[in-house]
Chains A and B, each alone.
Chain A
Amino acid sequence: MTADISTPTVESIGAWLTERVAEYVDAPKESIASDVPFGEYGLDSVAAFTVCTDIEDHLGLVLEPTVLWDHPTIDALSAFLVGELNTAR
């Protein structure tokens, strides 16, 4: 089941990102904490580009590929993406 992203808030995007990260590192989503850096779950620098592409496709944004490097937790990335979405509207 995919999290609802129709109203982009830090919470809804965070929930969606948690599912993506869990999928990428092949772990249950309950085990992914929103304030722990992606690297600690084994999401490496190159995999971060793939997640970035997924985010672009799902949210209709164009992002720097390093967006996960510069916002390296779910909390930080969600806050950044909400800002980007609000700017894009």
Chain B
Amino acid sequence: MTGAARVADLERRLGDPFDPANPLSFAEILAADERGEMFAAGERALDEFGLGAEFVPSADGGRLTRLDHLVELMRSVYRRDPCLGLGYGASSLIAGVNVWTAGGSAQRGRVADLLLSGRKVACAFHELAHGNDMAGADFAATPDGDHLVLRGRKEVITNVQRADAVVVFARTGDRPGSRSHSLVLLDKAELPGDALSYLPRFRTVGMRGVQLGGLVVDGARIGRDAVLGAEGGALETAMRALQITRTTLVAMSTGLLDTGLRVTLRHTANRTLYGRRAVDIPHLRSVLTGAFADLLTAEAFATVATRALHVLPGQTSVYAPAVKYGVAKLVLDAVHQLSVVMGARFYLRDGAHGIFQKLVRDVKPVGFGHIGRPVCQSTILPQLPALARRAWLSGDGAPAVLFDLGADLPPLSFDALALSAGGRDPLASSLLAAAEGADPQVRALAGPFAARLRDLAARCAGLAPRDLAMTAPNRSYDLVEAYVTVLTATACLQLWRHNRTDAFLGDPAWLSAALTRLSRQPGGPVPLLPEPVEARLFDELSQRLADNRGFGIANRPFATGTTKEKSA
């Protein structure tokens, strides 16, 4: 099956979550959440679909060829239950990308076998004492002849107890610095049963079903060949491989926003306030349209960044934290705005709209899970001077395949992911190319953001080292914010330009809405959309709701009916 066919197949298998007769309905998902459990019927459905195969590259026997297809597939999971998205899927993907990047053939084969047979692999990087500071990790895998002696603890790790194997970020050398840690593939089948012990589950505000645990080891020995790649290579592998998950996980989270918007629309369409339908109150309509515009904006940037992992893997060390920072903010803010529209309803745990309060809780980790937004800023910041000096004003374009959704992507190459963009930034520099090009409409749309980029270039080129460090002043972080906004606007503009034959994407209405909202000044109000733009988008939104289609860039049909016919 092609990627698009598998997306449709998974939708059909999972059925309409709003249908109370569906065993995989929101009512059942909520009930599992109230019990603090993973949604068992949902996990069975994903087992039957073989979701684990989607995380395994085709070269290793799986179905992963295109990350954009994987993202769209996982949006079908996230729009129903983010706990399934993370707890069934994404955590195995995070472990997997490290193995596909650095593992040898036996290690790749073992992890592929596990995922292809529906087992879980956990990724144990985090220690509470060190947060996102991976180089500070204390968990030790001390070399001793042909063995490693494991000692230490890992905390707040998804699926650590039920996983069959764990990718552990461990210290293998005493020296400070970036070459003293290794990734170790801990295969539980190779350890005596009492070698590992587990901490009690961490209780959380959202994602209540996800099995967050901890691992404690005190002196267990494993073969030295459990190291993934070279000893001392952990930081390098992680910084390269995790560009994939930092981009794609936040891209998947727009599925959650789709449901938030859908629930809010259904609520306001059925509700009468002050003698008219709530959805006809102009302010509420503006908020709903704004959330739709933000969802499209978020997916536009996420789509371009996901395609960049295939097309420009040398540059995604900048785009991955940028998309995590920018898309997470769009999704978090939009869900918050929708919760204001929901009013007191967003606070209720039961009834037709009870799923909404779950989404409000489940969305929070989008901002800090896997990597925190502030850490993304501090990762981007040191690269800005070189990008400003070497790339932004060059006006070099980006390849059309980055934006043309009908164009085939080159194969994903884990080897090509780089630690630093080296001062090359085809996405941002394509903005100046557009602003100075022949098409007057494109020039007009690109102009204001091109002016921002020129201003940014002037301010970033001469930044002093003390302005770039983790302890940089606030004004440096404002530069990152401005840069991410320019990248987001560029992605929207280029997606519109390169998909002009698409009835909706080629219409400038959504682009105008996206750019209007992105033109907001820091700390200022969100600008109102021009009236015809808002009317066009609200019509589109209403039509997609009526047709049961997704609100995102793909504009694809959602499942109707239940999963009952499947078991007949």
Contact = CB atoms under 8 A, between A and B. Distances in A.
Interface string A28-47: 00000000011110001111
A66 B178 contact: yes
B378 interface: yes
B246 to A, nearest CB: 14
A49 B420 contact: yes
Nearest to A48: B178
A50 B466 contact: no
A66 B236 contact: yes
Given A26-B466, A45-B235, A40 B176 contact: yes
Contacts of A23: 464-466
B522 interface: no
Contacts of A39: 135, 176-178
Given A66-B178, A69-B177, A50 B419 contact: no
A57 B178 CA distance: 23
B468 interface: yes
Nearest to B133: A44
A70 interface: yes
Contacts of B235: 45, 69
A69 B420 contact: no
A57 B389 CA distance: 10
A12 interface: no
Contacts of B468: 47, 50
Contacts of A44: 135, 470
A59 interface: no
A24 B176 CA distance: 18
B469 A47 contact: yes
Interface in A58-73: 65-66, 69-70, 72
A44 B375 CA distance: 13
Given A37-B176, A44-B470, A50 B423 contact: no
B386 interface: yes
Nearest to B136: A44
A50 B383 contact: yes
B179 interface: yes
A37 B180 CA distance: 12
Mostly helix, strand, loop or mixed at chain A's interface? helix
Contacts of B418: 65
A9 interface: no
Given A45-B178, A70-B179, A65 B470 contact: no
Contacts of A79: none
Nearest to A51: B465
Q: Which of B176, B389, B420, B464 has the most CB of A within 10 A?
A: B420
B177 A24 contact: no
B566 interface: no
B419 A65 contact: yes
Contacts of A38: 177
Contacts of A49: 382-383, 419-420
A66 B237 CA distance: 12
Given A23-B464, A24-B469, A65-B422, A46 B378 contact: yes
A10 interface: no
Contacts of B177: 37-39, 45, 69, 72
A57 B418 CA distance: 19
Nearest to B389: A57
Interface string B371-387: 00000001100110110
A69 B465 contact: no
Contacts of A66: 178, 236, 419
A70 B379 CA distance: 20
A65 B420 contact: yes
Given A39-B176, A49-B420, A69-B236, 19 more contacts: A23-B465, A38-B177, A39-B135, A44-B470, A45-B177, A45-B235, A45-B239, A46-B382, A50-B382, A50-B383, A50-B465, A52-B420, A53-B385, A53-B420, A53-B422, A57-B389, A65-B420, A69-B178, A72-B175
Interface of B: 135, 175-179, 235-236, 239, 378-379, 382-383, 385-386, 389, 418-420, 422-423, 464-466, 468-470
